[in-house]
Amino acid sequence: MSEIEKGRWQLDDASVVGVLNQMPQMEKVMVVMRHGGATHERIGAVGAVSDDAGAIHLGGAVHTARVDPNAVARVILDTSSQMQGKCFPSVEFQDNDGEALFSVIGMEGAEAFVAAFDGLAKTVQAPKERQMPAMSKTPDDLSGDEGFRLLDRLKEEGHPVEIRMELPGRTQSWRGQIEDVKPAMGFANVMTGDFHLHLKAGAVAAWRDEDGGFTALDAEGSATGLRVLKV
């Protein structure tokens, strides 16, 4: 396996559609949407990329993301993330303020992932600041946490649910039965082979019960983008 150059670059002449159209050629990828203390991840190969009423839809057996290409101001290729000697390259889709709207991470086939963007003009970016996570002061007993309590209750009820992230310019969802809700390092975690939800303790102050589902609210009473629907 050849060495992958570590770095971070803006893909200057890349369109959102063009970059996402590379995804079906990849192996397993993780599509990550993160907001308001919730991280929503779908994991697997992308089967197809299509236009859905002006939005770009990632399809296949696993992926459900829909993205408004007009919400993306720039695309960043990052090859600096490594774990146990393995490179996990990513493309990060940012808004005008430089905030990540969502990311696609190569979980397998790092060389092919990076090579897909070899022919594009790139501008070197400063390394991303990576801070070591602080040791959580939140106990693993999350029985009093609003986010954990709803997820755990739905697990006990045993009905299929849909867990959605609905954010400006992008959405992503998963359907299935919650088999377990694992508290760890201050997060309530729902994990399957192709889906992870990591919900930070305290991120949900309350749930608004509406339309057969629940919308997560923060401490100010604003919707965070996380929704849990009964299906």
Could you read off the pLDDT of 154-182 as tens digits, one per residue? 999 999 999 999 999 999 999 999 999 99
Q: Which residue has the higher pLDDT, 3 or 100?
A: 100
Can you give the pLDDT at residue 130? 64
In a domain, 131, yes or no: no
Asked, for residue 83, whether it belongs to a domain, the answer is yes
Dihedral of the alpha carbons of 42, 43, 45, 49, in degrees to the nearest 10? 20
> What's the chain's average pLDDT?
93
More confident residue, 139 or 5: 5
Which tokens sit at 18? 């063009």
Q: What radius of gyration, in Å, describes the C-alpha atoms of the chain?
A: 18
The reply to whether 32 and 111 lie within a common domain is: yes
Phi (first) and psi of residue 113, to 5 degrees: -60, -50
Check pLDDT > 80 for residue 185: yes
Tokens standing for 44? 């697997």
* Shared-domain flag, residues 184 and 95: no
State the pLDDT confidence band at 217, using cuts at 50, 70 and 90. very high
Instruction: Show which of 60, 89, 124 is a domain's final residue.
Output: 124
pTM for this prediction: 0.93
Identify the three-state secondary structure at position 103.
strand
- Is 138 within the bounds of a domain? no
Residue that finishes a domain, picked among 61, 91, 124: 124
Tell whether 17 and 111 lie within a shared domain.
yes
What beta strand segments (E) does 13-85 contain? Answer: 29-35, 38-44, 48-52, 55-59, 66-67, 74-78, 82-83
Same domain as 100, residue 171: no
Question: Is pLDDT above 80 for 125?
Answer: yes
At residue 1, the pLDDT reads 41
Does residue 186 belong to any structural domain of this protein? yes
How many domains does the chain contain in total?
2
For residues 192 and 156, membership in a common domain is answered with yes
pLDDT for residue 133 is more than 60: no
Percent composition of the chain: helix, strand, coil (DSSP 3-state, to 5): 15, 45, 45
Please indicate, yes or no, if residue 75 is contained in any of the structural domains.
yes
Sign of CA dihedral 223, 61, 189, 39: negative
Same domain, 107 and 204: no
Q: What is the pLDDT of residue 74?
A: 96
DSSP per position, 112-143? HHHHTTTTS-EEE-PPPP-PPPPPP-S-S--T
pLDDT at 41 (0 to 100): 98
Report the DSSP beta bridge partners of residue 29.
44, 106
Same structural domain for residues 18 and 50?
Answer: yes
Q: Please tell me whether residues 87 and 154 are part of one structural domain.
A: no
130 in a structural domain: no
Evaluate whether 171 touches 9 at the Cβ level (below 8 Å).
no
User: Same domain for 203 and 107?
Assistant: no
Place of tokens 């940012």: 94
Does pLDDT of 131 surpass 60? Answer: no
Cα distance between residue 215 and residue 31, in whole Å: 22
Q: What is the pLDDT of residue 138?
A: 54
Instruction: Let me know: does 30 contact 124? Beta carbons within 8 Å.
Output: no
What tens digit of pLDDT does each residue of 20-58 get? 999 999 999 999 999 999 999 999 999 999 998 899 999
Token couple for 156: 């006990």
Tally of CA atoms within 13 A in the half-sphere of 3 that contains its CB: 3
Residue-number span of the structural domain to which 226 is assigned:
146-230
Least confident of 24-38, 70-84, 101-115, 119-133: 119-133
| 117 within domain boundaries | yes
CA 207 to chain centre: 21
Tell me the per-residue pLDDT of 78-105, one tens digit each, with 9 for 90 and over. 999 988 889 999 999 999 999 999 999 9
Measure the CA–CA gap between 79 and 25, rounded to whole angstroms: 18
Of 67-71, 110-114, 134-138, least confident by mean pLDDT is 134-138
Using the predicted structure, report yes or no on whether residue 222 has a pLDDT greater than 90.
yes
Higher pLDDT: 136 or 89? It is 89
- Tokens for 110, please give them: 């790092």
Query: What CATH number corresponds to the domain at position 225?
Result: 3.40.1570.10
Does residue 18 sit in the same domain as residue 67? yes
Instruction: Mark which of 92, 124, 156 sits at the end of a domain.
Output: 124
